[in-house]
Amino acid sequence: MNDWSGAADAFDSHLPQFVQGVGVAIVFAHLLLYVAAVESPRATTSVEGFLVGAATVYPFAAATVYGGRRLQRGDLPREHYGRIRNWFLGGLVGFLALNLAMIATWPAGSVFNNVGWALFAAAVGGAMGLGVGLMEARRIWQAVRADRQRQRRREIEARNERLADFAESVAHDLRNPLNVAAGNLELARREPKERYFANIESAHDRMATLIDQSLRLARSGREIDELESVELTTFAERCWSNVPTDDARLDLGAPTTIDADPERLTQLLENLFRNAVEHSSESPSSMSGARAGGDSDGRGDDGDFYRGAASAAPNAGVDAGEGTGAGDEADASAADEGAGSDADASAADEVSEKRGVTVSVGPLPDGAGFYVADDGPGIPEAERSKVLESGYSQSDDGSGLGLAIVSRIADAHGWSVEISESDTGGARFEFHVTEDE
């Protein structure tokens, strides 16, 4: 079967030349037939007979040559040549066989006439079959091209929608740290204090992180040109060393090899590792699935701080003017110290209760993919369909882009992603690899 397919492909690569050759061969065969008939001692033909034969044979032979020439110079993809080949050979052989049967039944009276009849049948059958094959192949090609254009248009529209959502998400996430920086800058202008500058620096760091992750997300969906065979467990161990993991632990499964882009796979694994470590200390009650950075109007942790800072500025000016600002500042300082003590105590309790997360990586049971799982708080079932969306985060200070990057990289590889609960109650990400047929 493969030998026949290879032979057919080789034949199709020279199909235009073959078609033109058949048309020219029919004309030359008719000319040689006339010469042989005239020089024969028992000549039974005349100029009139030759002209009649030429009038009936040459137009179809010329049409065959023209069709082959047009096929050679046209833009029809070679993948459609097989259909043209079948129609051309089918028409030529079929119509010729039918007429040979008729010649055998009702002979034309002379060899010249009988052979001329056969040449006429071959010319007509080949030309008609070639015409039908060309029209059908071109119609199919145009339909396929139109379908591809519609598909490309849908992809562009979907990409534009994702771009709009992405821009909205980035603008949303940057708005809160910008508000924080602006509010603290206003306070620092009125009363320079170290904590205001520290808050501004923290807001700038937050914006730098968001910008960096946004760029990673934008680049993660680019098409992959070449894949390499990667040994997953060794690769995962190397990626693990690039992520601040504190007292977390990596558990590697059986060795397995996958075809992937090493740079993208590094981003995918590091984002999953970082996500597991960062969320391992969160209690289930904090896994509320809030959108990164609070609401678009500035609400959330950063937004509350900004409103508090902004509302404090006028009071600071009035108190300073009335001479009562010192007492208020002392009260505020005492409140800050008390709040700081409570926060330190709470942080100490949280650290004492913190347990290092265990992240496991290994092949799927069917061998067609791999998984990354942890024993952290997990992802509620109602939120699993949302966590891969750009801008979605399970914490108020998260960017919501880490798992979106994971999803985009998987899509670029052609992998499907499934999120479920691990055996230890944490999150489990399964990447199913579809083998090319």
DSSP collapsed to 3 states, 300-344: CHHHHHHHHHHHHHHHHHHHHHHCCHHHHHHHHHHHHHHHHHHHH
Distance CA 118, CA 100 (A): 7
Radius of gyration, CA atoms only, the chain: 39
At residue 388's C-alpha, the angle toward residues 269 and 165, to 5°, is 125
Provide the residue ranges of all domains of the chain, joining segments of one domain with +: 2-153, 227-281+356-437, 323-353
- The CA distance from 167 to 351, in Å, is 37
Instruction: Give me the amino acid identity at 127.
Output: A
Q: Is 275 helix (H, G, I), strand (E, B) or coil?
A: helix
Tally of CB atoms within 10 A around 151: 10
Question: What residues contact residue 385 under an 8 Å CB cut-off, 6+ apart?
Answer: none
- At 49 the pLDDT is 77
- The alpha carbon of residue 149 and the mean position of all alpha carbons in its chain are separated, in whole angstroms, by 16
Nearest-angstrom CA–CA distance, 369 and 386: 22
Scan for tokens 């950063």, then name that residue. Answer: 302
Q: Which residue has the tokens 């493969």?
A: 2
- Quick one: which of 200, 265, 205 has its CA closest to 231? 265
Q: Is residue 266 helix, strand or coil? A: helix
- pLDDT tens digits for the chain (437 residues)? 566 777 888 888 899 999 999 999 999 999 998 888 777 766 556 677 788 889 999 999 999 999 999 999 988 998 899 999 999 999 999 999 999 999 999 887 778 888 889 999 999 999 999 999 999 999 999 999 999 999 999 988 887 887 777 677 667 667 768 888 888 999 999 998 898 898 888 888 878 877 776 676 666 555 666 788 889 989 999 888 877 777 888 988 888 898 988 888 888 888 888 888 887 765 443 333 333 333 333 333 333 333 333 333 333 333 333 333 333 443 444 344 444 445 444 544 444 455 678 999 999 988 788 999 988 888 888 777 777 775 555 555 555 566 777 888 888 888 888 888 888 888 899 998 876 54
How many CB atoms within 10 Å of residue 37? Answer: 21
Cα(221)–Cα(400) distance, rounded to whole angstroms? 16
| pTM, 2 dp | 0.47
Closest CA to 22 of 110, 96, 99, 114: 96
Closest CA to 115 of 32, 40, 43: 32
- Environment class of residue 347 by beta-carbon count within 10 Å: exposed (0-12), middle (13-18) or buried (19+)? exposed
Please tell me the distance from the alpha carbon of residue 271 to that of residue 309, in angstroms, as a whole number. Answer: 34
Helix (H, G, I), strand (E, B) or coil at 24: helix
Burial class (CB in 10 A: 0-12, 13-18, 19+), 4: exposed
Long-range interactions of 82-85: CB distance < 8 A, separation 24+ = 82/8, 82/12, 83/133, 83/136, 83/137, 83/140, 84/15, 84/130, 84/133, 84/134, 84/137, 85/8, 85/11, 85/12, 85/15, 85/133
d(CA 206, CA 200): 10
Of the candidates 235, 237, 228, the residue with the CA atom closest to the CA atom of residue 260? 228
185 half-sphere exposure, CB direction, 13 A CA radius: 11
Closest CA to 30 of 164, 161, 120, 121: 120
Tokens found for residue 301: 């942790």
- CATH, domain 227-281+356-437, list 3.30.565.10, 3.40.50.2300, 3.50.50.60, 3.40.50.970: 3.30.565.10
Start-end of H helices in 110-228: 111-190, 194-220
- Closest C-alpha to 281, from 406, 419, 172, 394: 394
Residue 281: the pLDDT is 60
Where residue 269 falls (left for φ over 0; alpha for ψ -120 to 50; beta otherwise) is alpha
